[in-house]
Amino acid sequence: MAFMRSPAQPHIYQVADRVEVYCDHDDKDNERHRGWLKGVVAQVDNKLVAVQFRVNIYLTEGWMVPDRILWFPSNSEHIRPLKRWTKKK
């Protein structure tokens, strides 16, 4: 009898989790840049995750998001948990 393994569970996000999101945003020189940006999970429901940022972010059409919050599907490839770096002794 053959058994299938269960599908990989996407990361379950909680409010206040630190994450990285691939999006359009302003860099340190206030120039628009596309890349990974750190943010904080502001809200979670069954299918979507809301992430809030400290810098200006933009939609793909070029419009700035006034409240600095983007919504992503919880299984999106454009959101990932923030990797914590530790110093080696």
Give pLDDT tens digits for 58-69.
987 788 898 999
pLDDT tens track for 40-57: 999 998 889 999 999 999
Please state, in angstroms and rounded to a whole number, the distance separating the CA atoms of residues 71 and 78. Answer: 11
Domain ranges for the chain: 18-81
Structure-token pair, residue 11: 């990361």
pLDDT tops 90 at residue 30: no
This prediction's pTM: 0.77
pLDDT tens track for 77-86: 999 998 776 5
Please state, in angstroms and rounded to a whole number, the distance separating the CA atoms of residues 57 and 64. Answer: 6
Please state, in angstroms and rounded to a whole number, the distance separating the CA atoms of residues 77 and 67. Answer: 23
Structure-token pair, residue 74: 């919880």
Please state, in angstroms and rounded to a whole number, the distance separating the CA atoms of residues 28 and 66. Answer: 19
